[in-house]
Amino acid sequence: MTKEKATSKKTEKVEAIVEKKVTKAVIMQGNEAVAKGALAAGCDFFAGYPITPSTEVAEILSNELPKIGGTFIQMEDEIASMCAIIGASLAGAKALTATSGPGFSLMQEAIGFAKITETPTVVVNVQRMGPSTGMPTSPGQGDIMQSRWGSHGDAPAIVLYPDSVKEAFQLTIRAFNLAEKYRSCVVLLMDEVLGHMREAVTLPDLSTVRVINRIKPTVPPQWYKHYDENQKYLSPIASFGEGYRFHVTGLTHDDHGFPTNKPNEAAKMMERLNKKIKHNIRDLVQIETEHMHEAKVAVFAAGIMGRASKEAVKMARAEGLKVGLLRPLTIWPFPDDAVTKMLKDVDAVVVPELNEGQLFHELERLVRERKDGSLHRLNRNDGTVITPAEILTKIKEVYNG
Amino acid sequence: MSKKKMIKEVRFSGSGGQGLILAGIILARAAVEDGLNVTQTQSYGPESRGGYSRADVVISNEDINYPEATNLDILLSLTQEACDKYIFDLKRDGVLICDTSHVKNISIINDNTYEVPFTEIAQKELGSEIPTNILSLAFVVKVTNIVNEKSLETAIRASVRPAFIDLNIKAMKLGFKLAKEYQL
């Protein structure tokens, strides 16, 4: 009897240790968090062509995917990688590819194909300093506009931009969820600094992770339309091999997927592509604000610059300056409402970026009235990050007009 | 009562192939073991050996916003170029530790400067210059107490390949011993 008691006590102890291990902080790299997030979201297919600074995503998934019965394939280049994940997704897989600037450029045409065929796919772009091969191991934020307008033709984009290792994990899951829900190609933009950075993180329990899967058709196969929107402009999607017949083409198509030249059918297709974003903007846009309710000057920054700005805002507030921060987690669609309100509320906005001013253009677009806050750019394009002290100097410069 | 804010910015610098980024990862892992917040970043050239290399570790008991080290509390330099490049980023009372096997000229020397021929010692005592990174990391930890010595050992065991654990633990112990001698 005493023996039994001892054993049960021991098991209890073991359980306590296991539980403790789950909640304990671990040291993790940004790219590792992306791979872990993809697995948590149910990713079971990766095709890619390894490139610094995104290589670890491919490296980890090449180890992990076979263990869960998934597929890892190293393609001959990025064009083939993007095409492979579109094919995999059409066959029902949750598919991912990861790349950096040069590869992202090659993927653009196929990203457009994923958008017009409304195929759920996720592309991770760990940005490096460009153009061209640029500086493989240095950060740059040059792909902000490319992630929006990189493909030809006027289709909207969903682009998420994390600023920490933990957020990289969360937004990877979100990228999959949005891709499945909106039947589109979702881009996760990262900074080289974040991809390679290691940080102490406590990841959430996987059982609490919310995973969204694509809507499946409920109609008999002969009634199935591959593009049959509901009131929210979202449509069910069947996978190849499930008995539903559909046609997939990059040509402008009708509801069944067959090419069409009729203006009314073309207009309907383009309307759906745009409206599924516009009508669900509240679901898509995520922002983080700090001290904006009492700010005289605001800092608007994304990704790693958002993080540097957070420190700069903290330093400014320690000196008694009324400064706030607005950081978009979704950069496309652009958080127009939040930015318009910010411009109305503050005297000046500082926009630090590791490029010549790409988010800055969007802010300029939203300045509507003369009494709106003035805009001040802070740019760097040399492969290093703007430090909080430099942002603070800029804040002080504009603080008193 | 709130805890007093602690933030330490550490930079390991030298050339590619010296294992500095691994040393940074191990220090970061040890800090997590101690229950602290930590970010570890790096900067290196595209080459796998040679070229510059640096690893930054920021350790704090609060959230860390900016992940890179800008105002250094501790600088370890294993090459002359690295020492010259980063010495002016060091705080006035910051600790500078140089490998005099490669660093021959130090622009600022004060009470917090340690000059140790790590590479030569590793070659002589451990039979190889490969564990120079762990030797110097242990030295840094011992003279600055930035993380617990026990945590460092756990972190080393968790970070290096099983075949090299013994050699690296030996290097760590030698580093601690050296630090004791230099502190006298």
CATH value at residue A389 = 3.40.50.920
Q: Read off the tokens for B42.
A: 């790096």
Coil/strand/helix, residue A180: helix
Contact B32 A137 (CB under 8 A): no
Give the mutation candidate from B41, B47, B52, B54 for the A interface (greatest A CB count, under 10 A): B41
Q: B98-102: long-range contacts (C-beta < 8 A, 24 or more apart)?
A: B99/B14, B99/B132, B99/B136, B102/B14, B102/B78
Task: Indicate the pLDDT class of residue A127, thresholds 50, 70 and 90.
Answer: very high
The reply to whether B11 touches chain A by the CB within 8 Å rule is no
Domain holding A120, by residue range, is: 17-208
The reply to whether A200 touches chain B by the CB within 8 Å rule is yes
Instruction: Count the neighbouring beta carbons within 10 Å of the beta carbon of residue A16.
Output: 10
Domain annotation covers residue B2: no
Evaluate if residue A1 carries a pLDDT over 70. Answer: no
Nearest to A236 by CA among A120, A144, A392, A346: A120
Contact B36 A311 (CB under 8 A): no
Q: Read off the tokens for A245.
A: 């017949």
Burial of B32 (0-12, 13-18, 19+ CB in 10 A): buried
The reply to whether A52 touches chain B by the CB within 8 Å rule is yes
Torsional class of B75: left (φ above 0), alpha (ψ -120 to 50), beta (otherwise): beta
Of A10-14, A61-65, A293-297, A376-380, give the lowest mean pLDDT range. A10-14
**How many distinct structural domains can be found in chain B?**
1
Contact B66 A388 (CB under 8 A): yes
Give the mutation candidate from A24, A27, A165 for the B interface (greatest B CB count, under 10 A): A27
Burial of A365 (0-12, 13-18, 19+ CB in 10 A): exposed
Task: Indicate the pLDDT class of residue A21, thresholds 50, 70 and 90.
Answer: very low
Residue B178 and residue A236: Cα distance in Å, rounded?
68
Indicate the residue of A136, A200, A385 with minimum beta-carbon distance to B68. Answer: A385
On whether the CB atoms of residues B79 and B49 are closer than 8 A, the answer is no
Contact A200 B42 (CB under 8 A): no
Which of A208, A240, A258 is a domain's end point?
A208
Smallest CA–CA distance, residue A387 to chain B, in Å, is 8
Predicted local confidence at residue A141, as pLDDT: 96
Residue A75 and residue A67: Cα distance in Å, rounded?
20
Provide the CATH number for the domain around residue A27.
Answer: 3.40.50.970
Evaluate if residue A370 carries a pLDDT over 70. Answer: yes
Predicted local confidence at residue B184, as pLDDT: 65
- For B99, phi and psi rounded to 5 degrees? -90, 105
Contact B25 A308 (CB under 8 A): no
Predicted local confidence at residue A32, as pLDDT: 96
Domain annotation covers residue A258: no
Q: What average pLDDT does this structure show over A309-328?
A: 96
Indicate the residue of B36, B41, B66 with minimum beta-carbon distance to A387. Answer: B66
Contact B38 A136 (CB under 8 A): no
pLDDT tens, A144-158?
Answer: 999 999 999 999 999
Of A15-24, A81-90, A368-377, B21-30, give the lowest mean pLDDT range. A15-24
Statement to judge: residues A187 and A303 lie in one domain: no
Predicted local confidence at residue A166, as pLDDT: 95
pLDDT tens, A191-233?
Answer: 999 999 999 999 888 888 999 999 999 999 999 999 987 767 8
Predicted local confidence at residue B107, as pLDDT: 87
The reply to whether B58 touches chain A by the CB within 8 Å rule is no
Q: Read off the tokens for A315.
A: 């330093």
Sheet (strand A287-290) strand order: A287-290, A323-328, A297-300, A348-353, A374-379
Contact A199 B67 (CB under 8 A): yes
pLDDT tens, A244-287?
Answer: 999 999 999 999 999 999 999 999 999 999 999 999 999 999 99
Chain A residues close to B43, C-beta within 8 Å: 137-138
Task: Indicate the pLDDT class of residue B1, thresholds 50, 70 and 90.
Answer: very low
* Distances, alpha carbon A90 to alpha carbons A184, A187, B3, B31, in Å: 12, 18, 54, 45
Chain B residues close to A27, C-beta within 8 Å: 25, 28-29, 32, 38, 40
Evaluate if residue B136 carries a pLDDT over 50. Answer: yes
The reply to whether A265 touches chain B by the CB within 8 Å rule is no
Smallest CA–CA distance, residue B123 to chain A, in Å, is 31
On whether the CB atoms of residues A386 and A305 are closer than 8 A, the answer is yes
Report DSSP state, residue B87: G
Report DSSP state, residue B92: E
Q: How many CB pairs under 8 A join A and B?
A: 62
Overall size of chain B counted in residues:
184
Question: Average pLDDT, whole number, for chain A?
Answer: 92
Coil/strand/helix, residue A350: strand
The reply to whether B43 touches chain A by the CB within 8 Å rule is yes
**How many distinct structural domains can be found in chain A?**
2
Which of A173, A208, A243 is a domain's end point?
A208
Domain annotation covers residue A227: no
Statement to judge: residues A203 and A309 lie in one domain: no
Which of A177, A192, A208 is a domain's end point?
A208
Residue A379 and residue B91: Cα distance in Å, rounded?
27
Q: What percent of chain A has pLDDT over 70?
A: 94
Q: Read off the tokens for B65.
A: 């916003």
Statement to judge: residues A191 and A315 lie in one domain: no
Amino acid in the structure at residue A191: D
Helix, strand, coil share (%) of chain B residues, nearest 5: 45, 25, 30
Query: What DSSP string describes A192-250?
Result: HHHHH-EEEE-PPPGGG-----PPPP-S-GGG--SS---TTS----PPTTSS------S
Statement to judge: residues A307 and A178 lie in one domain: no
Q: What average pLDDT does this structure show over A113-126?
A: 97
The reply to whether B60 touches chain A by the CB within 8 Å rule is no
Statement to judge: residues A138 and A40 lie in one domain: yes
Which value, in Å, is the radius of gyration of the alpha carbons in chain A? 23
Contact B65 A311 (CB under 8 A): yes
Instruction: Count the neighbouring beta carbons within 10 Å of the beta carbon of residue A209.
Output: 16
Residue A211 and residue A44: Cα distance in Å, rounded?
14
Task: Indicate the pLDDT class of residue A10, thresholds 50, 70 and 90.
Answer: very low
Domain annotation covers residue A278: no
Domain annotation covers residue A216: no
Q: What number is the ipTM of this complex?
A: 0.88
Chain B residues close to A308, C-beta within 8 Å: 65-66
Chain A residues close to B44, C-beta within 8 Å: 137
- Bond from prior residue into A162 cis (ω within 30 degrees of 0): no
Domain holding B176, by residue range, is: 7-183
pLDDT tens, B55-94?
Answer: 999 999 999 999 999 999 999 999 999 999 999 999 999 9
Domain annotation covers residue A279: no
Provide the CATH number for the domain around residue B179.
Answer: 3.40.920.10
Predicted local confidence at residue B2, as pLDDT: 56
Evaluate if residue A379 carries a pLDDT over 60. Answer: yes
Predicted local confidence at residue A7, as pLDDT: 44
Domain annotation covers residue A273: no
- Which residues, in sequence order, are CB contacts of B77 under 8 Å at separation 6+? B13, B14, B83, B86, B87, B96, B97, B98, B99, B103
Task: Indicate the pLDDT class of residue A401, thresholds 50, 70 and 90.
Answer: confident
Q: What average pLDDT does this structure show over B140-168?
A: 95
Chain B residues close to A387, C-beta within 8 Å: 66, 68, 70
Q: What is the largest CA-CA distance in chain A?
A: 83
The reply to whether B83 touches chain A by the CB within 8 Å rule is no
Nearest to A128 by CA among A193, A48, A82, A49: A193
Q: Read off the tokens for A86.
A: 């579109």
Task: Indicate the pLDDT class of residue B48, thresholds 50, 70 and 90.
Answer: low
Q: What percent of chain A has pLDDT over 90?
A: 87
